[in-house]
Amino acid sequence: MKQRFISTLQIILQLALTTVGLTGQSYPGKPQIIRCRSLEKETFSCWWKPGSDGGLPNNYTLFYSKDSEEKIYECPDYLTSGPNSCYFNKNHTNPWTTYIITVMATNEIGSNSSDPQHVDITSIVQPDAPVNLSLETNTSANMSYLWAKWSPPPLADASFNSHVYHYELRLKPEEKEEWETVSVGMQTHYVVTSLQAGMKYVVQVRCMLDLGEWSEWSPERSIQIRKKRLPPEKPRIIKCRSPEKETFTCWWKPALDGELSTNHTLLYSKEGEEKVYECPDYKTSGPNSCYFDKKHTSFWTIYNITVRATNEMGSNVSDPHYVDVTYIVQPDPPVNITLELKKSERKTYLVVTWSPPPLADVRSGWLTLEYELRLKPEGEEWDTVFVGQQTQYTARSLIPGKKYIVQMHCKPDHHGLWSEWSPEMYTEIPPDFGVKDMVVWIIVGVLSSLICLIMSWIMIMKGYRMMAFILPPVPGPKIKGIDTHLLETGKSEELLSALDCHGFPPTSDCEELLIEYLEVEDSEDQQLMPSHDTPSKNTKIILKETDSDSGRGSCDSPSLLPVKCRESRGLPSTLQTQDGGAKEKKGGKGSWETQYTASEQKTLPCNSESIKPYTWLAAQLPSNQAAMFAYHSTMEAFKITRNTANVNTSPVLVGNEENRQSLYPIAETVYDDVEKISEMEYSRTDQTTVQIRQNQHNDKSPFMNPKRMDYVEVHKVRQDEEPTLLLKHKENSGKTKKCTLPGTSKEYTKVSTVVDHHILVLLPDQRTQNTPVSQEPVAETSQNPQQSQAEKNTSYSTTAPSDSRRDTSGSDYMDPSSFMPFFK
């Protein structure tokens, strides 16, 4: 009946609520009865959870009915058990009755009821947790106990305290997970044995009535279980130290013994005394230490020190520590460290001064300290310097602009330990302007050397013109041994014109040409001509610059040379190559090196004599290529000449220096074995020859002598004991004259070439413009293989200029010819 009533009521309510739900606000949600619980079987409480409130304030009403009656009651006490609960006191609680409980939520729109809950009192009994849990440990003999006490859960109605609870206790070491649960019974205390010493235990209790469920576990309580009680461990003496060689202190590491208080005693005996003393002062140096003041400190005496640790259970003694205070001195760090920057001669240096530690009495001589300093630029490695007994140090070679860190420490002179490092001191080295100056100077130096390089490059490019500009032509010495008349009347003019100025425009260039002379002079110099086997004097052909009136205008007299060129078939080709060589010379070293190689290949088979100078040349090449080539080409040309025309008896042609603009060999007559041999040969064939030799003294390296290298000497001109030189006369129409050696010297004589195997062409300086002249005879010379050799030989003669130019400083005069390819 009642149930049916309730359900119909619900249906009606629900219908009403659904209609109202359309308005936006709604009837309350369904409340839910969470639990009903009796703490002690005599009263009970029920708690519910509200449903949604439907946007409006709700009222909650709890209705209950008993299984024995149909009557519906409302909750007797909404307050005692807190919000949303209903407390049924003893009067409303009947353990023999089943209660049917519903909660209804109501608001303006409607109401909603929970599902009904059937409650049997005996089945919902659960007490609160016990309270006032307290723990104690007790240690007796070897056992540790844990004594736990607690109180039963308090009840609202004090009259119910007669209830009897069953208790359970659980415990575990703090760090473990698993609990050990003990059933205690009805007591409210418990003693735990079998505990692990030194562990901390956590304990909880709970309780239960004879019916129902166990209560919650009480809050945790924990307690430290002491270790077993033992005598202390061995203490250990850590170290002893004397800071000033007058007192000392020893420190020890105390013995561990759990919670027991342990007393430490330091005992010592001194060498030579039986008595054992106790530490005079435990306080001054802090805990676990013993301070020996001056009275108690002796030196050169061994202290036997021990520390005894004592507690209730017994005592333990450290290992003995033997100390002679002499050897344990460790001073404090030095003090008053000052850093002072000083400057001298652009350099900054650092003066560090300091004082000995205040405790140390260094004045009496009792303690002598030595110092060590370390410094570093910030962020770099330490540089450590042992200073000795001084109290000052000067640090040099510091990096300017760096921040330096300085530290000091000290040590007794013999034994003991270094002190701690003093606090760091900083100083900043100012940037060194000296370095900047240096940089500026270096830049200036580099720039100026660059300029020099450019200058010299220009000089090379411009050739002798530069040199001539800087060093104007110097009038050359006259040729002593040549008869002027011979030169004037000879065919030399023809020759010159052929070689030199044919087709050469008489431009103003010609005016600038430096005319050079071949000076053939007598020489009595026995060093140069130690064993000359001819009665005639040595002939030296020296190239000289002429002054302007003697060295110009040669371009205008081209008539002579072509003739001579025809006579001497080898000559034109030589000229040609020489010209090419001159150009190549400007191109650089490499070109004439190849030329040299070519000539070497050609000349080697020609004459075995040439091998010697050649090899020698090669060895000297890097240092003195120019001179070597000059020499060599002269030699070779000459030899070729000799080979090709054995029978000829010809005068030496000496070109007029004014007509000739081609280059001339620079040679100097010298002796050496090879030359002697060749001389003999010439003598036998009765040739009129001119030997042009490079100075090849055994005692001197000719290449170190620029003058010698520059010249070609007419070594011997022989024709039946009557050597002849054909000279080109300056102003002459080109006649060739025979001149005897030694003859009267003539001014303008240069060796232009050796022509026709036995003619020495002497001529003035020649520029590269003579190319057209030399072109003509090429066809002729091509027929003669030996002449082509000569051609090759001459090709590298162009190197001579660079050498002579280099040596101008050591030379008496500037020889512009040396800038030009020279012609043989």
Partner 1 sequence: GLLLVALLVSHMLLTKEGVTSLPICPNGSVNCQLSLEELFDRAVKLSHYIHFLSSEMFNEFDERYAQGRGFIAKAVNSCHTASLTTPEDKEQAQQIHHEDLLNLILGVLRSWNDPLIHLASEVQTIKEAPETILWKAVEIEEQNKRLLEGMEKIVGRVHSGEVENDIYTPWDGLPSLQLADEDSRLFAFYNLLHCLRRDSHKIDNYLKVLKCRLIHDNNC
Which residues of this protein are in contact with partner 1, per CB under 8 A?
245-246, 271-272, 294, 297-302, 304, 320, 322, 324, 326, 361-366, 368, 413-415
Of 248 and 504, which CB lies nearer to partner 1 in the complex structure? Answer: 248
Phi, psi dihedral angles at 725 (to 5 degrees): -120, 130
Name the minimum Å distance from CB 655 to partner 1. 56
The Cα 87–Cα 44 span in angstroms is: 6
What sign does the CA torsion over 417, 420, 421, 422 have?
negative
Name the minimum Å distance from CB 368 to partner 1. 6
Of 269 and 685, which CB lies nearer to partner 1 in the complex structure? Answer: 269
Name the minimum Å distance from CB 496 to partner 1. 59
Of 366 and 469, which CB lies nearer to partner 1 in the complex structure? Answer: 366
CB 177 within 8 A of CB 168: no
Of 245 and 552, which CB lies nearer to partner 1 in the complex structure? Answer: 245
Name the minimum Å distance from CB 326 to partner 1. 6
Phi, psi dihedral angles at 556 (to 5 degrees): -80, -5
- Give which of 350, 352, 442, 353 is closest to 399, Cα–Cα: 350
- Give which of 721, 331, 726, 656 is closest to 497, Cα–Cα: 656
Of 30 and 270, which CB lies nearer to partner 1 in the complex structure? Answer: 270
Tell me the residue ranges of DSSP E strands in 356-509: 369-377, 383-388, 392-395, 403-412, 425-428
The Cα 706–Cα 803 span in angstroms is: 8
Name the minimum Å distance from CB 299 to partner 1. 6
Which residue matches tokens 């009970």? 44
Name the minimum Å distance from CB 232 to partner 1. 24
| CA angle centred on 817, ends 814 and 821, rounded to 5° | 145
User: Is-cis flag, bond preceding 475, omega within 30?
Assistant: no
The Cα 613–Cα 688 span in angstroms is: 23
The Cα 478–Cα 481 span in angstroms is: 9
Name the minimum Å distance from CB 265 to partner 1. 21
Name the minimum Å distance from CB 274 to partner 1. 10
The Cα 268–Cα 790 span in angstroms is: 111
Of 126 and 249, which CB lies nearer to partner 1 in the complex structure? Answer: 249
Tell me the residue ranges of DSSP E strands in 219-368: 221-224, 236-241, 248-253, 263-270, 276-278, 289-292, 302-311, 314-317, 321-324, 335-344, 347-355
Name the minimum Å distance from CB 272 to partner 1. 5
Name the minimum Å distance from CB 300 to partner 1. 5
Question: What is the identity of the amino acid at 474?
Answer: V
Name the minimum Å distance from CB 331 to partner 1. 14
Q: Which residues of 242-262 are buried (b: 16+ CB within 10 A; e: fewer)?
A: bbbbbbbbbbbebbebeeeeb
- Give which of 765, 723, 801, 710 is closest to 496, Cα–Cα: 765
Of 228 and 270, which CB lies nearer to partner 1 in the complex structure? Answer: 270
Phi, psi dihedral angles at 793 (to 5 degrees): -60, -40
- Cβ neighbours for 678, distance < 8 A, ≥ 6 positions apart: 609, 639, 642, 691
Tokens standing for residue 394: 């000067």
Question: What is the identity of the amino acid at 345?
Answer: E
* DSSP type of residue 536: S
Which residue matches tokens 């520390």? 307
Of 71 and 363, which CB lies nearer to partner 1 in the complex structure? Answer: 363
Name the minimum Å distance from CB 353 to partner 1. 17
The Cα 777–Cα 297 span in angstroms is: 117
The Cα 204–Cα 130 span in angstroms is: 9
Of 137 and 326, which CB lies nearer to partner 1 in the complex structure? Answer: 326
Of 366 and 457, which CB lies nearer to partner 1 in the complex structure? Answer: 366
Of 227 and 270, which CB lies nearer to partner 1 in the complex structure? Answer: 270
Of 138 and 390, which CB lies nearer to partner 1 in the complex structure? Answer: 390
Of 322 and 386, which CB lies nearer to partner 1 in the complex structure? Answer: 322
Name the minimum Å distance from CB 262 to partner 1. 26
User: Is-cis flag, bond preceding 742, omega within 30?
Assistant: yes
